[in-house]
Amino acid sequence: MNVEPKTLYVIATPIGNLDDITHRAVNVLRTVDRIAAEDTRRTRALLSHLGIVGKPVDALHQHSSAHDIARLMSLLEGGASIALVTDAGTPTVSDPGDALVKAAILAQVRVVPLPGASAVLAALSASGLGNGTGFRFCGFLPRDGTARRHAVATACSTPEPVILFESPERTTATLRELAGAMPDRPVCVARELTKVHEQIVRGTLTELARCENDWRGEITIVLGSWSPNEHAESISDEAIDARIDHELDAGAHAKTAAERIAAWSGRPKREVYERVVRRKTSRRQ
């Protein structure tokens, strides 16, 4: 394949097994003028596996500066061809590289995508939880605070399958948090996809939250289809009040309690918040 000057090639690389790379990607990596990589050491290891030597590799990661982007753009606008890669998978999908792509588009530099291995699609295809009508990809959940509560609430209110990434250290806690809101929702945890120790575990959120598994490696979680409206209808007012009491007894603020209970019950957050405030007031009297 002939690469074009003044072109940015966005290349998906293997998520584990190094043989999961397309012939087209190998040809472009071999032919471009230079490569912009999230981790230069890992990229050089991949290039060595592919028999590509002597290729200039520039670091481009989440901490790269505007100066780094400007330098690469200067090369592109000067006629260079550059391949953008990440550690594993597709650049800009929960990985760095978006700033360079946006800069290239703004400068009217051609951007060419080369698809390939994807942890998102691999996990969904093997989960048995796809419904053929689409899915929501959430990437990595925020670690804590309001952003995390909003992200969990979004997952709970999404009827189609939801796919997210998680670190192995937080996987059990995340499963437990999701199980608290959707105990019976089907889930699949895919660990170390395409690697030697690949593992795919299926069950309900409650079952996997109780699982004494050692979630090491790269983790992808797939939540199956869900009917939040039907779930909301099955939650009685008495159950809502009991959950409110539990949250308040644990010291949760009214807004925090409302967000958690709305995610769990499927009811509108404003409605739940008003109920929390009323119950909090009545408990004081």
Measured distance CA(7)–CA(76) in Å, rounded: 7
Measured distance CA(248)–CA(257) in Å, rounded: 7
Looking at residue 153, what is its pLDDT?
83
pLDDT confidence tier of residue 230, bands split at 50, 70 and 90: low
Q: Average pLDDT for residues 116-128, to the nearest whole number?
A: 95
**C-beta of residue 226 within 8 angstroms of C-beta of residue 266:** no
Q: Average pLDDT for residues 10-34, to the nearest whole number?
A: 96
Higher pLDDT, 235 or 97: 97
pLDDT confidence tier of residue 229, bands split at 50, 70 and 90: low
pLDDT confidence tier of residue 256, bands split at 50, 70 and 90: confident
The bridge status of strand 186-191 relative to strand 162-166 is unpaired
Measure Cα distances from 186 to 69, 152, 210, 224, 233 in Å.
42, 16, 14, 5, 19
Higher pLDDT, 79 or 267: 79
Span 83-102, pLDDT tens digits: 999 999 999 887 779 999 99
Looking at residue 30, what is its pLDDT?
97
The C-alpha torsion from 133 through 157 and 243 to 182, rounded to 10°, is 30
Closest CA to 231 of 193, 262, 202: 262
Q: Average pLDDT for residues 22-36, to the nearest whole number?
A: 97
pLDDT confidence tier of residue 207, bands split at 50, 70 and 90: very high
Strands of the 57-59 sheet, one edge to the other: 57-59, 34-37, 81-85, 7-11, 110-114
Looking at residue 77, what is its pLDDT?
96
Q: What is the pTM of this model?
A: 0.82
Measure Cα distances from 252 to 127, 257, 267, 281 in Å.
35, 6, 19, 14
Looking at residue 228, what is its pLDDT?
67
pLDDT score of 233 more than 80: no
**C-beta of residue 242 within 8 angstroms of C-beta of residue 220:** no
Q: Choose the weakest-confidence range: 28-32, 60-64, 152-156.
A: 152-156
Measure Cα distances from 163 to 78, 79, 98, 110, 225 in Å.
40, 39, 21, 30, 11
Q: Which amino acid is at 99?
A: A
Q: Average pLDDT for residues 234-250, to the nearest whole number?
A: 83
Looking at residue 133, what is its pLDDT?
83
Measured distance CA(254)–CA(273) in Å, rounded: 7
Higher pLDDT, 211 or 187: 187
Looking at residue 8, what is its pLDDT?
98
Q: Choose the weakest-confidence range: 27-36, 57-66, 127-136, 227-236.
A: 227-236
Closest CA to 264 of 272, 255, 253: 272
